[in-house]
């Protein structure tokens, strides 16, 4: 069984272990996106009261109730949208959605998402702005994830 909560914490730890001044920007952006992905998947399982993807949702009054919850793959917004009550809260925080886009597309191009970064050798993109977005998204998920 996958441990998305544990993977989230491990990837956050990986990011802080990488020296910021030694051209590890791509790795930091990539691992940061994976960390957010893992946190969202962990919340998605909790939201539907299941242990594994493909199990039927046990969340009464949810549109997916008694239907299989599919793994959202690398879709950060897809994961959010599969938690309608949580997504509604997310949509009410415009800053969250802006910061989530920065995590999803750290090079500011919708052609290259955080997963595709593994094929990019380097970037001149600032880590500072990305770090603000990463901290905002993680903080928001930590705070609001407790309401699931």
The reported pLDDT for the residue numbered 1 is 61
User: CA angle at residue 144 from 82 to 36, to 5 degrees?
Assistant: 65
Question: The pTM is what?
Answer: 0.95
Q: Where does 18-62 have alpha helices with state H?
A: 25-47
The reported pLDDT for the residue numbered 51 is 97
The reported pLDDT for the residue numbered 96 is 98
Q: Which two tokens stand for residue 84?
A: 């309608």
The reported pLDDT for the residue numbered 20 is 78
Low-confidence ranges of the chain (pLDDT < 50): none
The reported pLDDT for the residue numbered 28 is 97
Half-sphere exposure of 127 (CA within 13 A, CB side): 18
């Amino acid at each position: 069984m996958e441990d998305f909560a544990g993977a989230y914490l491990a990837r956050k730890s990986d990011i802080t272990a990488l020296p910021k001044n030694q051209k590890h920007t791509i790795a930091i952006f990539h691992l940061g996106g994976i960390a957010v992905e893992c946190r969202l998947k962990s919340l998605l399982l909790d939201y539907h009261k299941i242990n594994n993807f493909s199990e039927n949702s046990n969340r009464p009054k949810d549109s997916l109730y008694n239907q299989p919850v599919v793994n959202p793959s690398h879709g950060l917004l897809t994961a959010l949208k599969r938690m309608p009550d949580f997504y509604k809260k997310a949509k009410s925080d415009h800053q969250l959605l802006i910061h989530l886009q920065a995590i999803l597309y750290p090079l500011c191009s919708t052609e290259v998402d955080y997963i595709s970064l593994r094929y990019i050798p380097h970037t001149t993109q600032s880590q500072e702005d990305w770090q603000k977005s990463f901290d905002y998204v993680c903080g928001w998920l930590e705070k609001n994830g407790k309401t699931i």
